[in-house]
Amino acid sequence: MKAQRKNSREKILAAAADVARESGPGSLSLDAVASRAGVSKGGLLYNFPTKAKLMQALVEEYLRDFGEALEVAGSKDKGSNSLAVYIRLSAEHCEEEQPSASWIFSAMAEDPDFMTPIKTFKQRLFERLKGETPNIKALLICYLAIEGLRSMSLFDSDVLSKEERQLLVSSLLEIASAAPARDDIHQD
């Protein structure tokens, strides 16, 4: 019976992702998701008691997929350091068309813990990159620039032209590959 629940959960998440892509996450309706997944609304609510919990699960799945993509890209590109792989993959994701992220605010209002998986993922990713990047200054510059690019993309507030984004990414890749020295942060 457990496998069936997991299967229903996976079907619901896949349906929610499809509906969100088609109409935007802010327009996602539980009825549309249940219909697309072929489950009753009660079955959907059994797995995800609120729309915010469903959205949180979608975000967690995206983060898991991004983490796996980082691993795959890193193993394929043995000549690149982890920071360069992160920059390239993140830049590619930022180029993909994104629906408006206004739904994030309503999800956060409904469930204050909505951002916890995102914060946890980013903290683990940063710590991993910090452990694998010999130059902390290069890491800080590159990580924050990419996260800024990601935020502009997510919140549809990108002020950079395509050429400027490409220049930013190529500059970050130069920074990531150029500085081998370890600059430790000293805390007093």
pTM > 0.75: yes or no: yes
Distance CA 136, CA 52 (A): 36
Burial zone of 129 (CB within 10 Å; 0-12 exposed, 13-18 middle, 19+ buried): buried
Q: pLDDT digit string (tens) for 68-89?
A: 988 888 888 766 789 999 999 9
Burial zone of 106 (CB within 10 Å; 0-12 exposed, 13-18 middle, 19+ buried): middle
Distance CA 147, CA 141 (A): 10
Residue whose token pair is 């430790």: 184
Q: pLDDT digit string (tens) for 97-136?
A: 765 565 676 677 777 788 888 899 999 999 999 999 989 9
